[in-house]
Amino acid sequence: MYLVLMMYLVLMMYLVLMMYWFGLLGEVCYNRSMKERMSELVKLLNRYAHEYYTADRPSVSDSEYDRLYRELVELEEKYPTDILPDSPTHRVGGKILEGFEKYPHQYPLFSLQDAFSREELMAFDQRIRKEFPQVSYICELKIDGLSISLTYEKGILVAGATRGDGSVGENITENLKRVKDIPLTLKEPLDITVRGECYMPKASFDAVNQLRQENGEPEFANPRNAAAGTLRQLDTAVVAKRNLATFLYQEASPTQAGSQEAVLNKLAALGFSVNPIHFLADSIDGVWKFIEKIAQERDSLPYEIDGIVIKVNDLAVQEELGFTVKAPKWAIAYKFPAEEKEAQLLSVDWTVGRTGVVTPTANLTPVQLAGTTVSRATLHNVDYIAEKDIRQKDTVIVYKAGDIIPAVLRVVESKRVSEEALEIPSHCPSCESELVHFEDEVALRCINPLCPAQIKEGLIHFASRDAMNITGLGPAVVEKVFDKDLVKDVAGIYRLSVEDLLTLDGFKEKSANKLYTAIQASKENSAEKLLFGLGIRHVGSKASRILMEKFHDMIKLSQASQEEISSIDSLGTVIAQSLHSYFEQEGSQLLLRELQEAGVNLDYLGEKVGADAALAGKTVVLTGKLQKLTRNQAKEKLLSLGANVAGSVSKKTDLVVAGSDAGSKLTKAQELGIEIQDEDWLDSL
């Protein structure tokens, strides 16, 4: 009996174990099949979305897409740990962002030089053909949107950012994930950074403004403003609803493609939305014909454009041509003529800038221009007023230069009501000093170094975001500290105490401490911020960075010769002369000492090159096609070795690194007896 009972218990345990095993196995199998189904749905839905939003060739009905989408949502709710990174459900809003972080671009995003006439395009073409007679151009539509960069790691979107100043933008990854034609994963597991334009289609713009009108909200002025406003929304649900779109056009990271046309084809193959309208031209006449054709078709396009971008098609030639401080030498943006409106001139205001230039601004009867109300427009300078023969109470044509800055274009002479000339000031409107009109300048200038307006404008510039970035020290506060005689120059900012700030109207303990903290924090900035903040003529933010990379600290720069500065690639004699003239002044040297005594950092805090580096102090020129390195990689390596990389060969050149198909630069180097090395030599260092 005991034996029978034991056998019964063993049998029951066996049955329980079998039931558990098969149940577990069933669950595993079930889970596996669900994972496979989720993966299948993600692939299907992403393919259908690409066909709909990018290729404009939908292969399934909206109802079928919705059915599959609902199935995926139900599975993801049941198995949240198995949600795939490229699931289309990530494009649905619901995430509320706290704000946007700064995003340093690994690969700088340059702006383009503008052209407004055929003559300017011809001049661009002539500059290119001096070095490359057989060059061809690719013409692309200039989309009126917001410039963005997208970074993928192993084919997965990890970061999306605005252009910002080209070096630092804003991280808007979550918002860009809600733009339906941006792939969350690529067709290949690549590490790549691409650049393009995010825009709002005309249909989306009309729908958004209709809804805002119904809700009693102010309407967007134009699609570009609408796109920019949408991408800066903290509620991702808003972004998802507004149906933004993109066109990608550049591989910002190093590419193996040989031409811009090949880049566009590659981006399209990877699943990006690429504008199919582009044109390859062998001459500037061909470029102009394309511009005229698009100008006729512009209004019928489903999106806004404001011009045509013309690029050298050969990427090796692009690298050879290189960059100026501000823009690539191998590209130009032709801007379509701006919208024009009539307005009556009411009066003219004259204002003094930080360099002493006195600028006239026209007060006008209000007009609607490019989606905004315009009542003020620049008259540029006294020579411009004379050239256009602008008189009292004239009716003038107003336009937005570059679709941004309102300006007076010309006078409508048939509507002239007065022959009285505009009154041109002879004395500074700020300090009453006599104004000077130099022969080689078009502007009136106040040359009084103690002019209050100049000092205040200089202080505002010094504290601005791109300079020392002193939060809270804006124009209104600068006006207060200057009028109270608390600050007379930029060094005076660092002598301000909390007690000084508490004497200002509107300042309490909290606001005073906050501004004082911001002032102290700015002392730690890298020296290129300080250099730009000094407001030296012709020395912008990019030139400041290049100078500090070369000289490492402000003291060394202040002691550098014109020749040393002008030898730096992309800077030249104008910047060199301006810097030399500035630092020659005793007042400038005194200011540096005062800043140093106040504890302001005068050193460059970026990557530095030692004096014992292999190519320290040598001027090197790159030419020809490189096989192992991209032009940028080669340039970065030369810079890391201490070299000054120049764009042209001269007697000052120490070394030329020549790749295959090297042309005139190699020939000139040989004629001058300059040392020549190849890519393998550079790679070995």
Residues marked active site are found at 142
CA 6 centroid distance within chain: 81
Compute the residue count for the chain. 685
The pair of structure tokens assigned to 231 is 């991408």
Which stretches of 107-254 are assigned E, i.e. beta strand?
A: 114-115, 137-143, 146-153, 156-162, 168-170, 192-199, 245-251
User: With the C-alpha atoms ordered 185, 186, 192, 197, is the resulting torsion angle positive or negative?
Assistant: negative
- How far apart CA 477 and CA 463 sit, in angstroms, is 11
- How far apart CA 590 and CA 491 sit, in angstroms, is 10
Q: What are the residues whose beta carbons fall under 8 Å from the beta carbon of 510, sequence distance 6 or more?
A: none
The pair of structure tokens assigned to 672 is 């001058």
Any alpha helices (H) in 380-435, and if so which ranges?
A: 382-388
Element (H, E) at 279: strand 278-281
What residues are paired with 646 via a beta bridge? 621
- How far apart CA 168 and CA 149 sit, in angstroms, is 11
Contact (CB, 8 A) for 602 and 595: yes
- How far apart CA 481 and CA 221 sit, in angstroms, is 37
The arrangement of strands across the sheet holding 619-623 comes to 644-646, 619-623, 655-658, 675-677
Q: Is 209 exposed, middle or buried (0-12, 13-18, 19+ CB in 10 A)?
A: middle
Task: Name residue, tokens 């800038």.
Answer: 353
| Residue 330, CA distances (Å) to 128, 391, 482 in order | 7, 42, 46
- How far apart CA 113 and CA 309 sit, in angstroms, is 10
CB atoms within 10 A of CB 643: 24
Percentages helix, strand, coil for the chain (3-state, rounded to 5) are 40, 20, 35
Helix, strand counts (H, E) of the chain: 25, 21
Nearest to 295 by CA among 260, 264, 332, 334: 334
The pair of structure tokens assigned to 443 is 């502007």
- How far apart CA 293 and CA 210 sit, in angstroms, is 32
Strands 245-251 and 192-199: antiparallel
Contact (CB, 8 A) for 269 and 186: no
**DSSP summary character for residue 400:** E
Q: Which residues of 35-44 are buried (b: 16+ CB within 10 A; e: fewer)?
A: eeebeebbeb
Cα dihedral: 665, 670, 674, 676 (round 10): 80
Which stretches of 336-422 are assigned E, i.e. beta strand?
A: 340-352, 357-369, 372-378, 395-401, 405-411
Nearest to 600 by CA among 550, 560, 553: 553
The pair of structure tokens assigned to 343 is 């307005």
3-state secondary structure of 199: strand
- How far apart CA 406 and CA 340 sit, in angstroms, is 10
The pair of structure tokens assigned to 78 is 């049941």
